[in-house]
Amino acid sequence: MKVYGGIPAWKKYLDYSHEKQENEIQLAKRLYELFDEDAVIDKVRTVLEKVLSYILLKSSWNVVQKAMDEEKYLDVWQKFKIDLDLVGLYDLWRMLKNFRRQSFNASDCADLVRFIGCWVEKDDGAGLNPIKKTFRPRVTFLPTTSAPKPPVQMQKIDQSLSARLYENVWSQAEKAGQPKRRYRKGFGDITGGGRADWVIEHHIDSVRRKGFSNKSKAGMQLKRAYGPSNVLKIDRIFGLQVGADISGTTADATFFSRQWGEGVLHTYYYLLPAATIVYNCHHTLIEVALTLSLNRLIDYHIGYYSSLLVKTKERVPEDITHLKNIPSILEGAENSKKNHRIIAWFDGSALDGLVEFEGGYELEQYKRIFNAKKWLYEAPAFQNFPTREDVFGVMSGVLPSLGNRINNSYVIK
């Protein structure tokens, strides 16, 4: 373990965070290449064909129109040059079913999963939206200062527990908690005309997957977490890429797999968003992993990428044996020299200190303090730039001796 302060802390923070972010986008790329194998993604095509057929047969044209209008910027519409109406969706379904099936790559399929999630919200007659909402579970937050028991997921607020901080991380605060916050740029307020997009940082932009056309936009170009966003606080503590806040699209993809993929999609397909959404820079890895963790599919520990693996006894079918490579891909990223396990804290907006956990036994010994859900539960009580008190409060709550060890360590300045 090494503790840094002053200028060395800033230098380490910048260098280590850039390398860690590069490692995570490279991980997403490797996962994407695996899921984009024709035999693997064809399973998703099969499920999409079934669901789109249902929509075309059962849904009204105006509901389909509303969903397509809301998702009009999806790359898949531009790639296949279809009209954004019921006829256009029918044309796309015919391509998927017949003569252009193999043209639908992993990113196209992910776009269609997003569209289906939007359609579910619009079509009250289908009665699926209440089910889909359960994949965005309510979270009860408790302030660190009260030294509470770990919070639990809640479906209904208990008003007798008024001392607690409640928040729906997917939308707005319901009591004193701080909501998911995303700042949307543009609409003439920045440049005087048109949309002024966020620029994706070079070390990420040079690796990420680009869209089909110049009109394609990554989600992180259109909106970013800001202000009191709980996920942004986690990003700052661990030196992670700032994204578009917790991923509702991952929740929709999880619903899609559970609702329609049974018997077709292996359990590992729950990791598809970690490939498509992250590699396309719609969301960051932590934003996908938190959604999967809140749905109890995984228990993600930041930087411990093997914890992304959904535990299952289900055998990988012989026709999609590529999926067997997922554990080794995750382990490769976890063992990468670029995967720096760091925790930082701030004084105001200035970095105040940094602790680096080094390899071997130490990384395993302190793994518990990297639990992503634990930090999400505690984040509403933090300052926007988490302070030493914020960070040490959580670490000491998990491992009481750790705070003392850091305090007694020599600080490199």
Domain count, the chain: 1
Instruction: Quote the CA–CA distance of 209 and 228 in Å, as a whole number.
Output: 29
Instruction: Quote the CA–CA distance of 26 and 40 in Å, as a whole number.
Output: 20
Residue appearing with tokens 């579910």: 120
Instruction: Quote the CA–CA distance of 169 and 178 in Å, as a whole number.
Output: 8
Instruction: Quote the CA–CA distance of 261 and 264 in Å, as a whole number.
Output: 5
Amino acid (1-letter code) at residue 255:
F
Would you tell me how many other CB atoms lie within 10 Å of the CB of residue 367?
Answer: 16
* Residue 288 Cα distances to 149, 174, 321, 379, 413, angstroms: 25, 23, 24, 17, 36
Predicted TM-score (pTM) of the model is 0.87
Predicted local distance difference test score (pLDDT) of residue 197: 60
330 is a domain residue: no
**Closest Cα partner for 158 from 182, 136, 174, 145?**
174
315 is a domain residue: no
E strands, 63-209, where? 138-141, 153-154, 165-167, 182-184
70 is a domain residue: yes
First-to-final CA distance of the chain: 15
50 is a domain residue: yes
Instruction: Quote the CA–CA distance of 205 and 25 in Å, as a whole number.
Output: 10
Q: Identify the helix (H) or strand (E) that includes residue 331.
A: helix 326-334
Q: Any bridge partners for residue 167, and if so which?
A: 139, 173
162 is a domain residue: no
45 is a domain residue: yes
Instruction: Quote the CA–CA distance of 180 and 51 in Å, as a whole number.
Output: 31
Which pair of structure tokens corresponds to residue 180?
């998911």
Would you tell me how many other CB atoms lie within 10 Å of the CB of residue 214?
Answer: 8
402 is a domain residue: no
Print the domain residue range for 49.
38-133
Instruction: Quote the CA–CA distance of 77 and 84 in Å, as a whole number.
Output: 8
Q: Any bridge partners for residue 351, and if so which?
A: 346
In a structure prediction context, what are the per-residue pLDDT tens digits for the chain, which is 413 residues long?
A: 899 999 999 999 999 999 999 999 999 999 999 999 999 999 999 999 999 999 999 999 999 999 999 999 899 999 999 999 999 999 999 999 988 999 999 999 999 999 999 999 999 878 899 999 999 887 766 554 433 333 333 223 233 322 333 344 655 433 334 445 555 443 322 222 333 467 888 888 888 988 766 667 788 888 888 888 899 999 999 999 999 889 999 999 999 999 999 999 999 999 999 999 999 999 999 999 999 999 999 999 999 999 999 989 899 999 999 999 999 999 999 999 999 999 999 999 999 999 999 877 788 889 999 999 999 999 988 999 999 999 999 998 898 888 888 888 878 88
**Closest Cα partner for 45 from 118, 119, 95, 117?**
95
Residue appearing with tokens 């008024």: 162
Would you tell me how many other CB atoms lie within 10 Å of the CB of residue 4?
Answer: 21
Which pair of structure tokens corresponds to residue 78?
């531009």
